[in-house]
Structure 1
Amino acid sequence: MFTYERSNSSRLWFPCVDSFSESCTWTILITCHEDYTAISSGELVEVEHSVQKKKKRFYYHLQIPTSASNIGLVVGKFTPIVHPDMHEVVHFCFPTLKSLLLDTCGNTHRIFEYYEDMLNTRYPYSTYKQVFVDNLDSKYVAFATLSIFSINLLHSKHIIEQAYATRKILAQAIAEQYFGCFISMQSCPDSWLVRGIAGFLAHDYYKKAFGNNEYRYQVKEAMDKVIKYEQQFRPIVLDPSHKGYTEKDYFHIKNFHTWSPLYDKMHRVKSFLIMRMLENYLGRALLLQVFNKMLSLAQIAITQKYNSNSWHHLYASTGSFIWAISTVTGKNIDTFLKQWVFQGGHVKLTGSFVFHRRRNTVLLEIRQVHVNKTGVWQYLGPLMIWLQELDGTFKHNLQIEDNISKHDITCHSKSRRNKKKKIPLCTGEEIDMDLSAMDQDSPVLWLRIDPEMNLLREVILEQPDYQWQYQLRYERDIIAQLESLAILDNYSTNSTIRNTLSEILGNDQIFYRVRCEAAFCLRKVANKVGSQYNGPQTMIKLFRKLFGSPSCQHIVRMNNFSNFKMYFIQKSLIVAMAGLRTDHGICPHEILRFLLDLFKYNDNSKNKFSDAYFRAAMIDALAE
Structure 2
Amino acid sequence: MLDAVVDNFGLSEEDKALEMSVVCSGDMTDDIVDPKDPSRKTVSFTCANAVLPQHIAIAVGPLEHVDLSDLRESDDDEMMGQAAIRATDHFSKTYISYPFTSYKIVFVDDLVPEIAHAASLTLCSNSLLYPEDVLDPLLPVTRKLVHALAFQWMGINVIPKTSQDWWVIYALSYFMSDDFMEQLCGRNEHRFRMKQMADRVVELDVNRPSLQVLGDYLGVDPSEIEFMELKAPLVMFILNQKIKRMAKMGVTKIIYKVLLQAKTGRLQNGAISTEDFIQIVDKYLESKPIPDFWRQWVYGAGCPHFYVTQRFNKKKSVIEFAVKQTQGDRNELESRAEDLDPKTFLKDLNEQKSGMSKKKRTRVFTGAMTVTVHEADGTPYDHIIPIHDALTRFDAPYNTKYTRLKRNRRQKERAAAAQGIDLNGDGELPDEIPLYCLGDVLDTEKEIQEWNFDEWTKEEEEQMANEQYEWIRVDADFEWICKISFSQPLWMMVAQLQQDPDVVAQAEALRNLSDQQPSKLISTYLTRTVMDRRYFHGIRTMATEALAKCAIPRIDDVDLDWVGLYHLEKTFQELFCLPGSHMFNDNSHNEFSDCHYVAALLAALAQQLAYKDSSTISFDFDEDEQDEIDFQRDALNEIERHRRLDEWIPSYQNIVTVTALQCQCLLMENGIIPRKMLDFLQYAKPGAAESVRLKAMECLIDLGMMKHPAILRYLIFTLAYDPSPYIREQLYYLIGRGLARIAIGDKKEEPSNQIFGGLIIEQDTSTDSRAAMIERTQTLEGAIKALRTELGSNKVFEEQMRNALTSPMPSLKEWVRLLDICGLVFEPKNSLGVMLKLPLSWKVQHQGKGKMRFYRSPPYRQKPLSKIKQEQAPLLQQKAAEKRRRPSLADEPNKRQHLAHSAAPKANGIPSLKISLKAGSGSAHSKPLQGTYTKPLTGTYPKPFKSTYSKLCNIGSWRQDGEA
* Bigger Rg, which one: 2
Deviation at 1:327, TM superposition (A): 3.9
Q: Which amino acid aligns with 1:401?
A: H
Residue 88 of structure 2 corresponds to residue 112 of structure 1:
yes
C-alpha contact 2:550 2:565 (8 A) present in aligned 1: no
1:317 is aligned to 273
| Contact in 2 for aligned 1:361/1:408 (Cα 8 Å) | yes
The letter of the residue matching 2:33 is H
Counterpart of 1:384 in structure 2 is 370
Structure-2 change in CA distance of 1:493 and 1:173 (3 Å): closer
| Residues 1:34 and 1:495: Cα distance change in structure 2 (over 3 Å) | closer
Equivalent residue, structure 1, for 2:53? 68
Equivalent pair of 2:159/2:169 in contact (CA under 8 Å): yes
For residue 39 of structure 1, give the secondary structure of its aligned residue in structure 2.
Answer: strand
Query: Structure 1 residues 412-421 or 513-522, which shifts more?
Result: 412-421
Corresponding residue SS for 1:66: coil
Deviation of 1:514 (Å): 1.1
> How far has the Cα of 1:597 moved from its partner?
13
Q: Is the 8 A contact 1:575 1:617 kept in 2?
A: no
1:441 is matched with which residue?
A: 466
Calculate the TM-score normalised by the size of structure 2: 0.51
Shift in alpha-carbon separation, 1:315–1:33, aligned structure 2, 3 A: farther
Residue correspondence of structure 1 range 549-564 to structure 2 within 5 A: 549-552=578-581
Counterpart contact for 1:548–1:556, Cα < 8 Å: no
CA-to-aligned-CA distance 1:52-109 (integer Å, 9 cap, x gap): 343222211111111223222222332222224389xxxxxxxxxxxxxxxxxxx960
Matching residue's letter, 1:335 = D
Q: Deviations over 1:548-583 (max 9, x none)?
A: 11342785696897899x999999899889978887
Task: State the alpha-carbon separation in 2 of the partners of residues 364 and 569 from structure 1.
Answer: 46
2:902 paired residue number: none
Describe the superposition over 1:301-347 as per-residue Cα deviations: whole angstroms up to 9, x where unpaired: 4xxxxxxxx66061121222233334444242433212211122222
User: In the superposition, relative to structure 1, how do residues 574 and 77 fare at CA in structure 2: closer, same or farther (>3 Å)?
Assistant: closer
Q: Aligned partners of 1:594 and 1:219: how far apart in 2?
A: 42
CA distance in 2, matches of 1:596, 1:541: 26
Return the match for 2:257 from 293, 300, 313. 293
Give the one of 341, 344, 354 matched to 2:311.
Answer: 354
From the two aligned structures, give the one with the greater strand fraction. 1
Quote the residue 1:169 is aligned against: 144
Q: Which of 560, 564, 576 is residue 547 of structure 1 equivalent to?
A: 576
For the 8 Å contact 2:182–2:190, the answer to whether it is kept is yes
2:328 to 342, 362, 371: 371
Q: Deviations over 1:386-430 (max 9, x none)?
A: 112222111111111211112111222243372644479996453
Could you say which residue in structure 1 is the equivalent of 2:153? Answer: 178
Structure 1 residues 173, 327: CA separation in 2 closer, same or farther (over 3 Å shift)? same
Alignment of 1:405-484 (within 5 A): 405-413=392-400, 414-416=402-404, 418=407, 420-421=409-410, 422=412, 428-429=428-429, 430-431=434-435, 436=461, 438-484=463-509
Contact 2:312 2:318 in 1 (8 A): yes
Partner AA of 1:140 in structure 2: I
Distance, in Å, in 2 between the alignment partners of 1:299 and 1:350 is 47
Q: Is the 1:471–1:481 contact (alpha carbons within 8 Å) kept by the matching residues of 2? A: yes
Query: 1:217: Cα distance to partner?
Result: 1.7
Q: Secondary structure at the match of 2:36?
A: coil
Please tell me whether the aligned partners of residues 599 and 656 of structure 2 are also in contact (alpha carbons under 8 angstroms).
Answer: no
> 8 Å contact 1:388–1:446 — kept in the other structure?
yes
- Judged with a 3 Å threshold, the aligned counterparts in structure 2 of structure 1 residues 127 and 570 are, in CA distance, closer, same or farther, namely same
Map of 1:524 onto structure 2:
549
Cα distance change of structure 1 residues 483 and 419 upon mapping to structure 2, 3 Å threshold: same
- Give distance in 2, aligned partners of 1:462 and 1:239: 35
Relative contact order, CA 8 A, sep 6+: which one is greater?
1
After TM superposition, give the deviation of residue 202 of structure 1 in Å: 0.8
Query: 2:135 maps to which residue?
Result: 160
Letter in 2 for 1:196: A
Instruction: Provide the secondary structure at the position in 2 that maps to 1:64.
Output: coil
Question: What is the CA-CA distance between 1:279 and the residue it aligns to?
Answer: 1.2
Give the one of 36, 56, 62 matched to 2:20.
36
In 2, the alpha carbon distance for the partners of 1:370 and 1:187 equals 30
The one-character-per-residue Cα deviations of 1:334-367 (angstroms, maximum 9, x if unpaired) are 3321221112222211112122333332221111
- Give the whole-Å Cα distance in 1 for the aligned partners of 2:636 and 2:84: 41
2:124 counterpart residue number = 149
Establish whether residue 255 from structure 1 lines up as the match of residue 230 from structure 2.
no
Check 1:466–1:276 CA distance in 2 against 1; reply closer, same or farther (3 A cut). Answer: same
- What secondary structure is seen at the aligned counterpart in 2 of 1:80? coil
Which of the numbers 479, 482, 488 marks the counterpart of 2:513?
A: 488
- Whichever residue aligns with residue 45 of structure 2, its letter is Y
Counterpart of 1:48 (choices 16, 20, 32) is: 32
Per the alignment, do residues 42 and 333 of structure 1 end up closer, same or farther by CA in structure 2, a change over 3 Å counting?
farther
Name the aligned partner's letter for residue 205 of structure 2: E
TM-score, normalisation: structure 1: 0.76
User: Does the 8 Å contact 1:184/1:194 carry over to 2?
Assistant: yes
Following TM superposition, the consecutive aligned residue runs of length 4 or more in structure 1 with deviations greater than 6 angstroms are 423-426, 556-564, 566-583, 585-600, 610-624
Q: Which ranges of structure 1 fall in alignment gaps of 5 or more residues?
A: 2-31, 88-106, 241-252, 302-309, 601-609
* C-alpha contact 1:195 1:272 (8 A) present in aligned 2: yes
1:239 to 165, 189, 212: 212
Q: Note the C-alpha offset of 1:193.
A: 0.9
2:616 equivalent to 1:584? yes
For the residue of structure 1 that corresponds to 2:111, the secondary structure is coil
Moved more, 359-368 or 75-84: 75-84
8 A contact 1:239–1:341 mirrored in 2: yes
What's the RMSD between the two structures over aligned residues?
Answer: 4.1
* Identical residues among aligned pairs (%): 19
For residue 260 of structure 1, report the CA deviation from its aligned partner: 3.0
Q: Distance in 2 between matches of 1:494 and 1:34?
A: 65
Alpha-carbon spacing, 1:611–1:49, altered in 2? closer, same or farther (3 Å): closer
* CA-CA distance at 1:289 after TM superposition: 2.3
- Partner in structure 2 of residue 97 of structure 1: none
Which AA in structure 2 matches 1:180? G
| Worse-superposed segment, 289-298 or 494-503 | 289-298
Counterpart-to-counterpart distance in 1, 2:565 and 2:488: 30
**Once the two structures are superposed, what CA deviation does each residue of 1:590-622 show, in whole Å capped at 9, x if it has no partner?**
99999999999xxxxxxxxx9999979997999
Cross-structure match for 1:277? 238
Q: In 2 relative to 1, CA 476–563 (structure 1 residues): closer, same or farther, beyond 3 Å?
A: farther
1:203 aligns with 2:178: yes
Query: Aligned with 1:157: secondary structure?
Result: coil
**Counterpart in 2 of 1:5?**
none
Q: 1 CA distance for matches of 2:293 and 2:238?
A: 9
8 Å Cα contact 2:496/2:505 also seen in 1: yes
Q: Point out the more displaced range, 353-362 or 184-193.
A: 353-362
Counterpart CA distance in 1 for 2:595 and 2:466 is: 44
Identify the residue that residue 380 of structure 2 maps to in structure 1: 393
Distance of 1:570 and 1:419 partners within structure 2: 48
